[in-house]
Structure 1
Amino acid sequence: MSVSYAFRKVLQGGAVLALALPLAACGGSDTGDGDTREVAMTLATPTWNAGIASIAVSQEMGYFEDEGLEVEVILADSATTQAQQIATGQVVTGAVSPEPVILGHQPDRNLDLTYFMSYYKDNIYGLRVPADSDITSIEDLQGKTVGAISLASASVTQAQVGLREAGVPEDSVTFVAIGTGGQQAAAVENGQVDALALLDTSFQVLENQGIELREIEVPGTDALTSGGLAARTSDLEADRELYVKLGRAIAKGVVFSQANPEAAIELLFAAHPEARPSGLEDDAAVASSVSVLEARLANLGAEDDPYGAIDPAALQANVDFLLDAGELTEEVDPDDLYDDSLISDINDFDREAVRQEAADHA
């Protein structure tokens, strides 16, 4: 098993990070021996954490290596940044939320990205308030302050669109960036924010810290998907084998994590010690992170067979959501957003063998 190839790099705004890899249209390079191909992918998160443990599993268990790949993971600040990085060839793929992918298919955008596999099957974003808050509906947010990891987060977009759908003037609600982890907890405890527009995993972290939260329904979001692995359409056509290999290695990481989340967290901690919650004994740190990982796994469709297929109806729901919000100027055909031709080959592996590998992992 090789040492993890991931480097902790954060892309800020629309800036392009110069990589050591001169990625061409096919997105990668050989390492010199002709056997291993170096590529990069992107995830929208400021730090390594339990929510993306399955990707660390794919690295640490050698699933990428088994496919002849050495994968560098680039951490980005938003899906918009991710879309820019994929579109400019700086990375070959990323787990991207639908907004920039859909908007990129508008005639004036020409950002031709296509999903080839699901990752966030269900909607990972949401809106919650402290359990004792007098806020009971999204309409009650008028005049209130909502905290988010970043103002560029898709959670903010969804909340803002939900406000419009509910007839709440967008400028009557203030959105503020409250970062991650302890910053989020402090923002709630000191009354800096009245509500939170965050991710499934962020909500679980707060719950683990003893902060009880209550969900607030956001109109129009129930049927949404939070996206999947996207690539330039031309790259999918020119280098199909690369994306099958990437998808299969990532799928194995999800299956392993579902089968043994404790082992997945141990692998994450070994590769990325910064992902370990501070101030907790080892057992408590693992248990806390397992609960966060399980909150994410619930939205990944890990038990689906075949794994990674995207329901066109879910993409249509995302299109309709953006149309109703006035974000889209015209209809986008969901069939133009997703290429399902790789799913069969992505699933060409022995799931039971992976589950057994997870069960046997010490």
Structure 2
Amino acid sequence: MKSFIKALLVPIVSGVMITAAFAPSSAWAQNRLIVQGGSPVPNPAYLNTYVAQQAGFFAEEGLDVEVRYTQGAALATQLAASNNADIADVTFEPYLLGYSQGLRGKFIYSRYDELIYWIAVPVDSPIKTPADLAGKTIGVASMASSSLTVARSILRDAGIKPTDKSFLPVGTGDQAIAALRSGQVQALSLWDAVYGSLERAGHKFRYIYHPRVGNVGNGGFFVSEKTLADKDAQLRGFLRAQVKARVFIKENPEAALKMYWVANPAAKPQSPEEEAIKKGMQEITFKSAFFNDDPVKDFGVFDLEKVGSYMDVLKKEGVYKADLTPSDLVTNTLIEAVNDIDPAPVREMADKWGK
């Protein structure tokens, strides 16, 4: 376990952006919850938590919730697993990768309705199917990115054997677009939040999804075994607030967008208000589970069969070797106990917000 922690920390221990993640453990007070994000800055992926904070849903549960940020989901997962944070908002892959090194815990709420990793090509590209990727180079954020694992699986499903030349690290922003335009790469394998940001900036893509597990939600709120045992009531309150936040977002997405800008002022486009809202809405609604028509009772619930199919993909790609089942990774026990919330008062509150 210690060697795994060291391996995670060595590449970034000098970065000041993660200093707050290692605050003293006195923050482990019962009604105070630390939510550890896997990105270095505020992100629209955490919209539900920002809304739960600013709309008062956490306060209704008697909770003091702080969101912290760090460079990567692997470290965020480790911080939660080692009880240096209460909850990690992350995807499955880092936990499964670290399982053999002693990481233990459970995902208690599904944050996604679909796999967040897929391949993108320019809208005018001749590449239209996975088979068309044969002989092409795909840009990835880094060679350690989980999107690379999914891209490998997409290629294999199309009968293409990935090689050392199949992928090239290009980052996630302007560098990735430059690599695409210059022909260094012919496709990108990134994730939903990045694609949403690129689309907001005016870039248009055609998307290629995993043919077998593209509809699998692959992450959510992860907690350690200790947190699961010691903070049952607090976690239930946290999840109730999350469910209310999702109802609020669907009812009044513009108010939710403005709450995101409060959490991340740098994300607000520097343009007239009407145009800024239009661009902002494009980003937060991009492939977002917040705006689908699921009944409230299904918010956050894991589909164990789908989770199992994705675990099979990851195991075949060498992410983990242990003999695990979906129930070893996720649990619906807490969310099923709290998501019988009456949405009507929340919708009424959202409808009146800001008026």
State the TM-score bracket (shorter-chain normalisation).
Answer: 0.7 to 0.9
Identity of aligned residues (%): 29
- TM-fit CA distance, 1:40: 1.1
Query: What corresponds to 2:166 in structure 1?
Result: 173
Which residue number corresponds to residue 122 of structure 2?
Answer: 130
Question: Which structure 1 segments of 5+ residues have no match?
Answer: 1-10, 31-36
Matched, 1:23 2:17: no
Q: Measure the CA separation in 2 of the matches of 1:139 and 1:201.
A: 26
Kept in 1, the 8 Å contact 2:140–2:188? The answer is: yes
Structure 2 unmatched ranges of 5 or more:
1-8
Q: Distance in 1 between matches of 2:274 and 2:143?
A: 34
Provide the residue aligned with 1:282 in structure 2.
273
Aligned to 1:328, the other structure's residue is in SS state: coil
- The answer to whether the 8 Å contact 2:87/2:223 transfers is yes
Partner residue of 2:256 out of 239, 242, 264? 264
Deviation at 1:342, TM superposition (A): 1.0
Shift of 1:326: 3.3
Who is 1:292 aligned against?
A: 283
Listed as ranges, the matches of 1:185-196 within 5 Å are: 185-196=177-188
Matched with 1:34 is none
Contact 2:268 2:276 in 1 (8 A): yes
| TM-score with structure 1 setting the length | 0.83
Query: Once the 2 structures are TM-superposed, how far is the Cα of residue 77 of structure 1 from its aligned partner?
Result: 2.9
Q: Distance in 2 between matches of 1:281 and 1:148?
A: 34
Alpha-carbon distance between aligned partners in 2 of 1:129 and 1:73, rounded to the nearest angstrom = 34
CA distance in 2, matches of 1:12, 1:40: 23
CA distance in 1, matches of 2:10, 2:345: 40
1:358 corresponds to: 350
Pick the aligned partner of 1:112 from 79, 104, 117. Answer: 104
Which string of whole-angstrom CA distances, capped at 9 and with x for unpartnered residues, describes residues 295-351 of structure 1?
243378673331211111121012111122233324311112222221234325331
Residue 14 of structure 1, CA deviation: 6.4
CA RMSD of aligned residues (A): 2.7
Question: How far does residue 97 in structure 1 lie from its aligned partner after superposition?
Answer: 0.9
Task: For 1:23, give the aligned amino acid.
Answer: S
Change (3 A) 1:259 1:197: same
Aligned partners of 2:294 and 2:140: how far apart in 1?
A: 30
Q: How many Å apart are 1:51 and its aligned residue?
A: 3.5
Whole-Å Cα distance in 1 between the matches of residues 347 and 178 of structure 2?
39
Does the CA contact (< 8 Å) of 2:139 and 2:169 recur in 1? yes
Alpha-carbon contact 2:118-2:147 (below 8 Å) kept: yes
Q: Which amino acid aligns with 1:295?
A: F
For 2:316, the equivalent position in structure 1 comes to: 324
Counterpart CA distance in 1 for 2:110 and 2:39 is 18
One-letter amino acid of the counterpart of residue 92, structure 1: D
Specify which structure has the higher proportion of helix: 2
Query: Is contact 1:97–1:226 with CA below 8 Å preserved after alignment?
Result: yes
Task: Kindly indicate whether the alpha-carbon contact (under 8 Å) linking 2:123 and 2:205 is maintained by their aligned counterparts in 1.
Answer: yes
Given residue 28 of structure 1, which amino acid in structure 2 is its aligned partner? Answer: W
Deviations 1:71-116 (A, max 9, x none): 22122332222211111211111222111233444xx332112011
The SS at the match of 1:29 is coil
